[in-house]
């Protein structure tokens, strides 16, 4: 049962990863990003990729469980 759950997690991660890659590759137009008085121009793909990466990092950091002694 443990092997099946591990395999299912890897398959799910692969499907999500491929879906994110396809979504990013189809959204490559240049956009202007404004935040308060700061603004810059970047590709939509870079912005989506950075947002996904930040989301994964935050999910990993806050998803860690403290070790019990």
Query: What are the pLDDT digits (tens) for 13-54?
Result: 899 889 888 888 888 888 898 989 989 998 888 888 888 889
Q: Is residue 27 part of a domain?
A: yes
Is the entire prediction scored with pTM above 0.95? no
Q: Is residue 24 part of a domain?
A: yes
The total domain count for the chain is 1
Q: Are 17 and 25 in contact (CB under 8 A)?
A: no
Domain membership of residue 52 as a residue range: 2-63
Tokens 């008085």 — which residue? 37
Beta bridge partners of 41: 32
- Residue 66 banded pLDDT, cuts 50, 70, 90: low
Residue 68 predicted with pLDDT over 70? no
Q: Is residue 23 part of a domain?
A: yes
């Amino acid at each position: 049962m443990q092997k099946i759950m591990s395999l299912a997690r890897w398959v799910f991660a692969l499907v999500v990863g491929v879906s994110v890659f396809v979504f990013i590759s189809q959204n490559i137009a240049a956009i202007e990003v404004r935040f308060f008085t700061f603004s810059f121009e970047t590709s939509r793909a870079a912005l989506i990729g950075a947002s996904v990466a930040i989301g994964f990092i935050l999910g990993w950091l806050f998803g860690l469980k403290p070790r019990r002694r």
